[in-house]
Structure 1
Amino acid sequence: MHKDKASVLKQLIAEEGMYRELYEQNPDCIYVLDLRGRCIGANRSAERLTGYAFREVTGIQNKALLFGSRTEAGRHFSLACAGDTSSCQLKFIKKSGVVASAELTYIPVRAEGEVVGIFAVIRNITDVNGSAVYDAAEAGSTHSARDSRLRDSRSLILNSVTEGIFGLDRNGKIIFINRTAMLMLGYSSEEIIGIHSLSHIHHTRPDGSSYCPKECPIMMTIEDGSPRSMNEEIFWRKDGTSFWVNYRVSPITEHDHIEGVVVAFSDITNEREIIRAKESAEQASRAKSEFLAMISHEIRTPMNGMIGMADLLLESELGEEQRTYAEILRSSSYSLLNILNDILDFSKIEAGKMPLEPEPFDLREMLSAVIDLFTPKAEEKGLALRWWADTSVPETIKADPSRLRQIVVNLVGNALKFTEKGSVTLSVKNILLPESPTYLLEFSVRDTGVGIAEDKLGLLFQSFSQIHPSINRKYGGTGLGLAICKQLVELMGGTIFVESEEARGSIFRFMLPFVKEEAEVTGLLYK
């Protein structure tokens, strides 16, 4: 009987030529359904409104294009099959994935007093902002074409964004989703439309406990309409694996009623793991540095005792062989103390426990003392060791003298260590900054030593790095000297850098800022 009625329905459509034009030109979407709800005809507006060509919906139940209360749609369809025109408001999914509100009217088609089919008339009543309009009927064909292009643009934008986006109806079921979200969640569009977010995607808190509907932020927004932003939450994929997300949920309103929500989320799993690994490494480094800084006094005290006893022993009456042993003991103790000092200083700087103690002091006097310290070593190696300072360099500067001396001693000591012939020169220049209350002093240590290959310059100021392992084995050292210099220079507000050429020597420079004397600053201000 259904087959006979379907044939009659098709014949009616073909024969009623006077109504054909009205049917085709109607701005509303019209599907012709048989009594099983299968599509056997559609007007031109149907494709324009839904995006589906007639061949794509032929034989498909019309209810498959709708979502929301399908039971409601079925009830109104049954009423139409019984001969009553019936209407309801539902939603439909366009081919692009965009969801729109619709006024659906089922109109029975009769032949010889018997219902043989149904007209399903769908009128889009949702504009861009979610407010009700009768777009196709009232806007005319020009507006319909413009709206069609606008809808296509919206779909393109939705599928181009890097965030995952999906929409839920008032029951928490997914009604649309973009490509990014489908890729991240592992679902196809057909699989995910209609599933419940709380039971499939967002059913677990970060601590592993389950969300109940009243506590889930997404479901709460569906209830109260308040937008929410959530950080470090858990979403679940189709394959049962989970990942960390940040998401925002915003309400979809229509006629001042909440119709659902839109959820925009991003996968932060890798970012979170990197941050946690970085924090863990920094915490371990701080713990190590704080431990070494804390026990610095305990380590240095016995070392100083050993050196003191070796000095006293050397002052006593010793045989030649005993004196040799005592000198080796004292020399080794000093070497060990220097190594410990380097490690402990580096750890204190890393732990942020290296306070600077600035005070006025005679710069030239300090430089001269450093040169005097290394003069015996330079003479032993037959090297020329000299220093000079520009006349514009102030006699007295305000800085931490012990830390500045430590930097200069380290650089001059390194230069002598790696220079076998030629000279080592320490110099200081004043770099004036016009109209500024500060000036820069440029300290440089130039040598004619082994130099450094260009591809190894980047390793120079790294901790525990040794550019010349064979030479370091000969002379010793921790590989921390230049790293400590860099950190001290930066702690004092300056910068350090190097120029070098292998087998031709190196120039280490560092610049430190100093405040001009009050009289000089006053002169600048009232110049």
Structure 2
Amino acid sequence: MPLTNSLWTMARSLAGRSYLPSFIALAVVVCFAVYAERNQTFITKQEQRALAVSETSRLRAQIEGYVSADIQLVRGMIAALSADLDMSQEDYSFLAQQVMGTHQEFLNIALAPDLVVTRVYPYEKNKAALGLDYNKNEAQRAAAYRVRDSGKMVLAGPVNLVQGGTGFIGRFPVWDTRNGQRRFWGLVAAVIDADGLYQNAGLLDQNLTIDVALTGKDGTGAEGALFFGNPTVLDDAPILMDIQLPSGTWQLATRPKEGWATASDDVWGTRIFFFFVGLLIFVPTFAAGRLSDTRRSAIDALKRREVELERLSLVAKHASDSIILSTPDGKIQWVNAGFTRMMGYSSKEAVGQHVGELLNSENTNPETIQDMINQRIQGNRFHCQIINKTKDGRDIWVGTNIFPIKDDDGNITMNIGIERDITRTKQYEKELAEAKLVAEKADRAKTDFLANMSHEIRTPMNGILGMADLLSESAISGEDRQCVDTIRDSGHALLKIINDILDLSRLESGKLEISDVNFNLRHCIDSAVELLRHKADQKGISLTLDYEDDLPTEVRADDGRLRQIIVNLVGNAVKFTSSGGVRVLVKRDEESEYGIKVEVFDTGIGITEAQAQHIFDRFSQADAATTRAFGGTGLGLTISSMLARRMGGDIALCTDYDDGACFVATIDAKPAIGSPKKEPEISSFASEHLEGARILLAEDNKTNRLLVQKYLAAFDVELIEVENGLQAVEFCKAYTPDVVLMDMSMPELDGVEATRIIRSLPIPQPPIVALTANAFDSDRDMCLEAGMDFFLSKPINKAHLLQALSTQLEHRKAS
């Protein structure tokens, strides 16, 4: 009872007026302690963020610097390379070593003229890449074409490397400016070790105070995949900065090592301090207010420092470009020196002006201006290409990037505009488009020239070979027959030259199709070799053909092109062999499951080491004396090697064969699917189908009309001759021919248009056989699409003509 009374008395005393100021002061101290603790936590966070921003800016600058340095090294090497595009591997290795010096981060620098790797550095580590054809490599073809078509350097990666580790692949276009023209020559592919780049750029530095994440694989920027660092950084309110690459960007994301602070480092010390202050009530209110002001001043100073650091970071990042800071409504607040250099306006002249009113030209696209205004109002990042007007009145193209800066509430406080002068790039794009148009016109002109050449040469050849065939059927003396045979052989040789040139043109333009069919391998090769046996017998040399036991019976490939390759190789071997013989060996190609290898050995004149360097070049033979002695155009091996490569193989010259010459041809066949291709059956000629037939011949060439007359002279036929397609149409209207022989190229109305008109007439439709001196597949397709029933290519063989007429007349009578 006495204790209870004592406590009650003490409580009444503390509640008295004399103690009220103490309680109020204590309450104020407690409230201020809570407020101060929160402010200190905020300051800690701001200091932490300012340090992280500074460290991130430094790291970004290092990464950009090392990437740019490596790229400039390669570009420097390309500049030196352009002076001698045909340098050897040794010269290329010396050049690369001189330029790269001690830069060990380059794992491979490959030179690929026409997108085929021919030189590498370092050579020993990368020589396996020689011969890599980007045109056939599905994994790298798209990137190589992108460099070729855009004319710009492309940086891809990081990718997993065959030799282990990861790396970035920079592909640089190489231009050939010789002869006063600029054309795409090839590319340089530089593989940069990713770990070496990370190490040099400081990303692997153990003393970093921040966690790092890099996104934008293949230069795709913020939208790209993460390729380095801790993925959790991206989800923890990171600091984001773009790393500019020559083609695309990476995005650097960082945060402090320990994560963002949630409280001051000395939170308990602050609490103890204010506990004693509150307990003893020794700290006056004035001191508390003064401390609060001091804290606020520190916070304001830190905020200003952060803004200054961000500005300095942006300026350092884009110092070479024009930078404009403007208000949300477009008034210029600040410009850098790059703006003055590009636009001509000083900072004093620009500040306070409206961006659009100052820079827009009368040639600026109004839609682009409106789109820019809309995006700025919405607070979106925006990129476009637009025409600006400089102070001296010039119009220039600029690439503009606009970045809105927002406060914590999402309100736009300013806009940052970064502009780069792309006038020269626009000019290059225009020149490239014009050059492409010129190239397309040249390609069409080349095709038209070849078609015209084929027509103009085949038309007289039709008369020469046809008349020679007719003379050979008549009773003439042995000396006269020798002359006729010489005419026929020379005509066929000239025809082979024409066909070789056309084949080469189609191969170079990519218009020669490779058709996969099932066929009997031995039958195909036997038939090709047998074509040359008569010539070998005439020269008194042997011609043998051997097969290994493990060859498949049926394969799937283009049998016609395989036969063409073998005829060229064996034909050359027979042509250059005067004694001994030629041996053909067929076996499996061990590098492919269904690969076929054909080896052709001869005991002829052989090929020297110097001659071997050009043996596959077009229009090239061993030397001029060989051309005079044996003839030929030098296209056979060129066409054969291109065909073999189109069929997944190649042709090579043996280096360890000394008895003559040896060539090895390989193709990559496939397993046969279903039944093999049936060989076409050659039906016998039935002369009774021609008896009494009315044949309309539409041909403007007098010699060709005479030749057809001679071919049909022995048969009871009515041959009506007209000289153009218009006359052919009129005859078909008035009469009904049993069959029409229609030349494709005639005056007034060509054969194709004449056929279309005849097919539209309300008359009994006669069979129409096309006669053409053009040898392109497109000509055959055009004839059939117009409604023609058959296609004969000049020079016209008598047997083929009679067989075609017999077949068409037989079908007409049957229907």
Q: 2:521 aligns with which of 333, 347, 363?
A: 363
Distance (whole Å) between structure 2 residues aligned to residue 310 and residue 174 of structure 1: 92
The unaligned stretches of length 5 or more in structure 1 are 1-126, 130-134, 520-527
Q: 1:451 aligns with which of 607, 610, 615?
A: 607
Which residue does the alignment assign to 2:403?
A: 251
Distance (whole Å) between structure 2 residues aligned to residue 503 and residue 426 of structure 1: 14
Distance (whole Å) between structure 2 residues aligned to residue 419 and residue 240 of structure 1: 77
Which region of structure 1 is more displaced relative to structure 2, 368-377 or 269-278? 269-278
Instruction: Give the direction of change, closer, same or farther, for the CA distance of 1:225–1:431 in structure 2 (3 Å limit).
Output: same
Instruction: Give the direction of change, closer, same or farther, for the CA distance of 1:499–1:382 in structure 2 (3 Å limit).
Output: same
Which residue does the alignment assign to 1:339?
A: 497
Number of residue pairs matched? 372
Q: 1:439 aligns with which of 594, 597, 600?
A: 594
Structure 2 residue matching 1:318: 3-state secondary structure: coil
Once the two structures are TM-superposed, the CA of residue 393 in structure 1 deviates from its matched residue by 1.0
Structure 2 residue matching 1:392: 3-state secondary structure: coil
Distance (whole Å) between structure 1 residues aligned to residue 633 and residue 333 of structure 2: 62
Instruction: Give the direction of change, closer, same or farther, for the CA distance of 1:370–1:182 in structure 2 (3 Å limit).
Output: farther
User: Structure 2 matches for 1:157-306, cutoff 5 A?
Assistant: 157-159=317-319, 164=321, 166-167=323-324, 169=326, 171=330, 175-176=334-335, 185=342, 203=361, 209-212=363-366, 215=369, 218=372, 221-222=375-376, 225-230=379-384, 247-255=399-407, 256-257=411-412, 259-263=414-418, 265=420, 268=425, 269-270=427-428, 273-274=431-432, 276-278=434-436, 280-282=438-440, 284-286=442-444, 288-289=446-447, 292=450, 300=458, 303-306=461-464
Structure 1 residue matching 2:402: 3-state secondary structure: strand
Residue by residue, what CA displacement relative to the aligned partner does 1:68-124 show, whole Å, maximum 9, x if unpaired? Answer: xxxxxxxxxxxxxxxxxxxxxxxxxxxxxxxxxxxxxxxxxxxxxxxxxxxxxxxxx
Once the two structures are TM-superposed, the CA of residue 502 in structure 1 deviates from its matched residue by 11
Which residue does the alignment assign to 1:484?
A: 639
Q: 1:515 aligns with which of 654, 659, 671?
A: 671
The unaligned stretches of length 5 or more in structure 2 are 1-238, 242-294, 676-815
Distance (whole Å) between structure 2 residues aligned to residue 242 and residue 422 of structure 1: 78
Once the two structures are TM-superposed, the CA of residue 337 in structure 1 deviates from its matched residue by 0.9
Q: 1:373 aligns with which of 531, 553, 561?
A: 531
Structure 1 residue matching 2:665: 3-state secondary structure: strand
2:671 alignment partner AA: V
Instruction: Give the direction of change, closer, same or farther, for the CA distance of 1:395–1:201 in structure 2 (3 Å limit).
Output: farther
TM value normalised by structure 2: 0.37
Once the two structures are TM-superposed, the CA of residue 335 in structure 1 deviates from its matched residue by 1.4
Which residue does the alignment assign to 1:58?
A: none
Instruction: Give the direction of change, closer, same or farther, for the CA distance of 1:470–1:171 in structure 2 (3 Å limit).
Output: farther
Once the two structures are TM-superposed, the CA of residue 361 in structure 1 deviates from its matched residue by 2.9
User: Structure 2 matches for 1:5-404, cutoff 5 A?
Assistant: 137-139=297-299, 154-159=314-319, 164=321, 166-167=323-324, 169=326, 171=330, 175-176=334-335, 185=342, 203=361, 209-212=363-366, 215=369, 218=372, 221-222=375-376, 225-230=379-384, 247-255=399-407, 256-257=411-412, 259-263=414-418, 265=420, 268=425, 269-270=427-428, 273-274=431-432, 276-278=434-436, 280-282=438-440, 284-286=442-444, 288-289=446-447, 292=450, 300=458, 303-319=461-477, 322-350=480-508, 353-379=511-537, 384-404=542-562
Distance (whole Å) between structure 1 residues aligned to residue 642 and residue 382 of structure 2: 44
Distance (whole Å) between structure 1 residues aligned to residue 349 and residue 610 of structure 2: 58
Once the two structures are TM-superposed, the CA of residue 430 in structure 1 deviates from its matched residue by 1.7
Once the two structures are TM-superposed, the CA of residue 490 in structure 1 deviates from its matched residue by 4.0
Are the equivalent residues in 2 in contact too, given 1:360–1:396 (CA < 8 A)? yes
Structure 1 residue matching 2:531: 3-state secondary structure: helix
* Residue 414 in structure 1 maps to residue 572 in structure 2: yes
Once the two structures are TM-superposed, the CA of residue 410 in structure 1 deviates from its matched residue by 1.7
Once the two structures are TM-superposed, the CA of residue 321 in structure 1 deviates from its matched residue by 5.3
Are the equivalent residues in 1 in contact too, given 2:402–2:416 (CA < 8 A)? yes
TM value normalised by structure 1: 0.54
1:515 alignment partner AA: P
Once the two structures are TM-superposed, the CA of residue 222 in structure 1 deviates from its matched residue by 4.2
Instruction: Give the direction of change, closer, same or farther, for the CA distance of 1:451–1:273 in structure 2 (3 Å limit).
Output: farther
Which residue does the alignment assign to 2:626?
A: 471
Identity, % of aligned pairs? 30
Residue by residue, what CA displacement relative to the aligned partner does 1:278-323 show, whole Å, maximum 9, x if unpaired? Answer: 5642453255337746996886566345323212212223345543
Instruction: Give the direction of change, closer, same or farther, for the CA distance of 1:466–1:219 in structure 2 (3 Å limit).
Output: farther
Residue by residue, what CA displacement relative to the aligned partner does 1:143-189 show, whole Å, maximum 9, x if unpaired? Answer: 887887776555443348xxx4533635476944586x888x59698
Instruction: Give the direction of change, closer, same or farther, for the CA distance of 1:142–1:237 in structure 2 (3 Å limit).
Output: closer
Structure 2 residue matching 1:394: 3-state secondary structure: coil
Distance (whole Å) between structure 2 residues aligned to residue 379 and residue 316 of structure 1: 27
Distance (whole Å) between structure 1 residues aligned to residue 624 and residue 389 of structure 2: 53
* Residue 499 in structure 1 maps to residue 688 in structure 2: no
Are the equivalent residues in 1 in contact too, given 2:364–2:387 (CA < 8 A)? no
2:414 alignment partner AA: E
Distance (whole Å) between structure 2 residues aligned to residue 216 and residue 452 of structure 1: 72
Distance (whole Å) between structure 2 residues aligned to residue 149 and residue 403 of structure 1: 70
Distance (whole Å) between structure 1 residues aligned to residue 631 and residue 394 of structure 2: 54
